[in-house]
Structure 1
Amino acid sequence: MSVVDLTNCRSVIFGCEGTTLSAAEKKFFKAEQPVGFILFSRNVETPKQLKKLVKSLRTAVGRPDAPVLIDQEGGRVQRLRAPHWFEAKSFGHFGDLYQTDPERAIEALRLTARLIAADLREAGITVNCTPCLDLHLPETVDAIGNRAFADNPQVVARLGAVVAEEMLTAGIIPVVKHMPGHGRATIDSHHALPHVGAPHDTLQETDFAPFKTLSVLPWGMTSHIVFDAIDPDHPATQSAAIIKDVIRGEIGFSGLLLTDDLNMEALSGSLAERATAALEAGVDIVLHCSGVLTEMQELAAVCPPLTEEAQARIELGNRVFDHTPDKIDAKADLARLNDLLETDIA
Structure 2
Amino acid sequence: AVATLGRAAADGMLAGGVLPVVKHMPGHGRATMDSHFDLPQVDAPRAALDTHDFAPFKALNDLPMGMTAHLVYDAIDPRPATLSPVMMQLIREDIGFDNLIMTDDISMKALTGEVDAIAAGALAAGCDVVLYCNATLEDRTRVADAAGEMSEAAQTRAVRALTMRRSPDDVDIPALTAKLDRLLGGTVYG
What is the TM-score when the length of structure 2 is the normalising length?
A: 0.93
Q: Kindly provide the amino acid, as one letter, of the partner of residue 237 in structure 1.
A: T
268-277 vs 193-202, which deviates more? 268-277
Instruction: Give RMSD over aligned pairs.
Output: 1.6
Q: Deviations over 1:48-85 (max 9, x none)?
A: xxxxxxxxxxxxxxxxxxxxxxxxxxxxxxxxxxxxxx
Higher strand share: 1
Counterpart of 1:167? 13
Q: Kindly provide the amino acid, as one letter, of the partner of residue 169 in structure 1.
A: A
Counterpart of 1:192? 38
- SS across alignment from 2:47: helix
Question: Structure 1 residues 338, 231: CA separation in 2 closer, same or farther (over 3 Å shift)?
Answer: farther
Distance in 2, matches of 1:291 and 1:342, equals 46
Q: Offset of 1:291 from its aligned partner?
A: 5.2
- Unpaired stretches in structure 1, ≥5 consecutive residues: 1-154
Residues 107 and 115 in structure 2, CA contact (< 8 A), matched pair in contact too: yes
Counterpart of 1:238? 83
Distance in 2, matches of 1:286 and 1:301, equals 12
Aligned ranges for residues 283-294 of structure 1 at < 5 Å?
A: 283-290=127-134, 292-294=136-138
Residues 64 and 164 in structure 2, CA contact (< 8 A), matched pair in contact too: no
- SS across alignment from 1:262: coil
Q: Offset of 1:342 from its aligned partner?
A: 4.0
Asked if 1:336 corresponds to 2:182, the answer is no
Counterpart of 2:67? 221
- SS across alignment from 2:142: helix
Aligned ranges for residues 37-76 of structure 1 at < 5 Å?
A: none
Higher relative contact order (CA 8 A, sep 6+): 2
- Unpaired stretches in structure 2, ≥5 consecutive residues: none
Asked if 1:252 corresponds to 2:96, the answer is yes
Which runs of structure 1 show a deviation greater than 2 angstroms over 4 or more consecutive aligned residues? 323-326, 337-344
Distance in 2, matches of 1:281 and 1:161, equals 27
Q: Offset of 1:189 from its aligned partner?
A: 0.4
Q: Deviations over 1:93-134 (max 9, x none)?
A: xxxxxxxxxxxxxxxxxxxxxxxxxxxxxxxxxxxxxxxxxx
